[in-house]
Amino acid sequence: MVLLLIFLFLSFLISAEYIIHKNFVSPFMLLLLSVLMAVCMFLWNLDNWELDLNYTFVLYLFTAILSFGAACFLVDAAYEKTGNSLLTKTAEYTRVLEPMEYPVLFTALLSVACTAVYIYLMLKRVDTSHGLTTTLRNIYEYIVNGSTSDFVLHQFLEVVVALAKINVFAMFYQKYVNRERMKIGYLVPVVCYMFCMVISTDRNIFLRFVLYTLCLWIFFYSYYSKKEIEATNRKVFFQTAFYIAILAVVFFALGKMKNYTSNLKRMLSIYAGSGLYNFNLFLKNHSSTSLKMGQSTFSELLNTLKAFGLFGGNANTVAEHGKFITFTARNGYVYSSNIYSAMRPYAEDFGYLGMIIYPFFLGAFYEVLYIKAKTAKAGFKWILYALLMYSIVYFPIAEQFFWRFHLGLVYEIGWVTVFYLLFFNDNRIRAF
């Protein structure tokens, strides 16, 4: 069954590239790549997971993928009727923009200042007397137990994150549009971001930063090279595979700094594939007799509204980020994971119908966003798409679109927008 799934998803992927000429950052291609990686984790853990895929899981998975893809193609068809066909590469994508100057010194100094303040404020809130590893674990516990309400602390982190992401865009613009060498100052906000990421103990912001960077790089490389999409995709695939290998090692090392005991294979299996397999285990015991009718998928939104007094105080919101599935194999292998496929809350809300409704909405939303970015010059639309596309990549392992549509995401997009408007004016960056 696993080999059949891999073969079918590979067939979809090849068809998307060679028949309809999809770019690797297009929503459907991202989804196929992400699901294919998760399914490959099944094959890697045949013995440890005692793989037993039920037919309900296969039906739900294919329905969700096909619903997402159908929405993408319908949106494409609607835009094609207006004369904005996205199925072929045109000369519009290789147009030359005006040179830019970037306030490298200003962004570097601001990043250093905000990083210093953030680290100082964070270390004041926890016990730092027992070494780095214990301190990071204390920070992790502090954050898990509610530091998100610490508004001032959180804003300094968001400013550093936003500056790093704006800087990445400026670096690629300098390289691919201005055709100039990158100044060393461009790396300062990125290094500051890495320090803050380590202190915050949040590996997810590291993953989102890497996905954001890869997405922007693919946009710039694809639009400002003269190669066809297939040739571009091949280079992107091999280079991305190399970067992902480095990412896996760094992600593993960050976990070790928080006293995690998993080895590299276990870590990759749990984070890249167990979420989808957990959905398979979940469906074996799931009853569709008590559907939650939206409360599971929209739990973060409902809880945020409740916090602002905009939702009934006795409302039965569903917050299940910490809900675990524990699996024990006959060979003694045990794992316990709270990472679920995005399809789990959809199934809890509407059963099989949820596999049609939610993925179709996501496919349509992201395809519109992608079209807006694809038909625009290098600018904010590229940045916005790169900021939001991680939800597609996370689809097999966790619901991120609705559950992360909270104040943290609003702050991040807000600060990125502020800095973009400050530094950019009519596609030119103001000099410092």
Give the CA distances from residue 213 to residues 210, 219, 240, 362, 419, in Å, rounded to whole numbers and listed in that order: 5, 10, 11, 22, 17
Q: Smallest Cα–Cα separation from 398: which of 329, 346, 356?
A: 346
| pLDDT mean for each 10 residues of the chain (432 residues) | 74 66 80 87 76 85 93 87 51 44 86 93 79 73 64 88 92 81 84 86 80 88 65 62 67 58 66 78 76 80 67 48 67 71 88 93 94 84 92 87 75 90 62 38
Give the CA distances from residue 284 to residues 53, 54, 281, 358, 395, in Å, rounded to whole numbers and listed in that order: 9, 8, 5, 21, 20
- Do the Cβ atoms of 367 and 75 come closer than 8 Å? yes
Q: Facing residues of 337 across strands? A: 325
The phi-psi region of residue 190 (left if phi > 0; otherwise alpha if psi is between -120 and 50; otherwise beta) is alpha
Q: Is 180 exposed, middle or buried (CB count within 10 Å of its CB: 0-12, 13-18, 19+)? A: exposed
Taking the C-alpha atoms of residue 182 and residue 174, their distance in angstroms, rounded to an integer, is: 7
Q: What tokens appear for 200 in the block?
A: 């915050």
Q: Smallest Cα–Cα separation from 141: which of 160, 124, 125?
A: 125
Q: What tokens appear for 52 in the block?
A: 């037993």
Q: Smallest Cα–Cα separation from 317: which of 339, 341, 293?
A: 293
Q: What angle do CA 248, 252, 253 make, to 5 degrees?
A: 120
Taking the C-alpha atoms of residue 94 and residue 108, their distance in angstroms, rounded to an integer, is: 31
Query: The pTM is what?
Result: 0.81
- Do the Cβ atoms of 352 and 63 come closer than 8 Å? yes
pLDDT value of residue 87: 41
- Do the Cβ atoms of 391 and 401 come closer than 8 Å? yes
Dihedral sign, CA of 18, 19, 25, 29? negative
- Do the Cβ atoms of 196 and 155 come closer than 8 Å? no
Give the CA distances from residue 427 to residues 106, 213, 379, 422, in Å, rounded to whole numbers and listed in that order: 19, 20, 7, 12
Mode of pairing for the β-strands spanning 428-429 and 424-425: antiparallel
